[in-house]
Structures are given as structure tokens and as C-alpha cells.
Amino acid sequence: PGIYVCAKCGHELFSSCAKYEHSSPWPAFTETVHEDSVAKRKERPGALKVSCGKCGNGLGHEFLNDGPKRGQSRF
């Protein structure tokens, strides 16, 4: 339990309360801790490239409409 932070700068990214089991080997989250926790840019249809909102460190992707509930995204 706790808050997941950027490995580079310590900026708060995700709460363990937003973590869920997914078939991906990577941790999956439904939302960020703060509105400015991450920065996003469109990479391809259905996926946004995600980076730390403070330092720009690469974090992976946000997959649109791929969360545990209809309409939710998966980080």
C-alpha cells in the first residue's frame, strides 16, 4: 500500500488504491494521484505516451478504454 513515485525525481504518480490485476506483466492503474502527475501525448489510436509530469521521465502508456470498467483507461 502507498504511493508510486517517479524513479527519477520522486514525483507522486499513482496510488496503490488505483492498482488492479491485468494480464500485462506491468503494474496497471486506473488513474493518477494528481491531475499533473503525468504528461500525455498521442502516440497511436487508443494509446497515449505517458511521462512524469515533473521531470519528463518516460513511464509507458495510457491505453484508452482498456481499464477494468467500461470507459476507463489503463496506465
Q: pLDDT tens digits for 4-39?
A: 999 999 999 999 999 999 988 889 999 999 999 999
Q: Is residue 75 part of a domain?
A: no
Q: Look up the domain containing 51 and give its range.
A: 3-63
Domain total in the chain: 1
DSSP codes, 8-73: TT--EEEEGGGEE--SSSS-EESS-SSTTSEEEEEEETTEEEEEETTT--EEEEEETT-SSSTT--
Tell whether 46 is covered by a domain: yes
Q: Decide: 11 and 57 in contact? Cβ < 8 Å.
A: no
pTM equals 0.88
State how far the Cα of 36 lies from the Cα of 25, in Å rounded to an integer: 26
CATH number of residue 25's parent domain: 2.170.150.20
Contact between residue 32 and residue 17 where contact means Cβ atoms under 8 Å apart? no
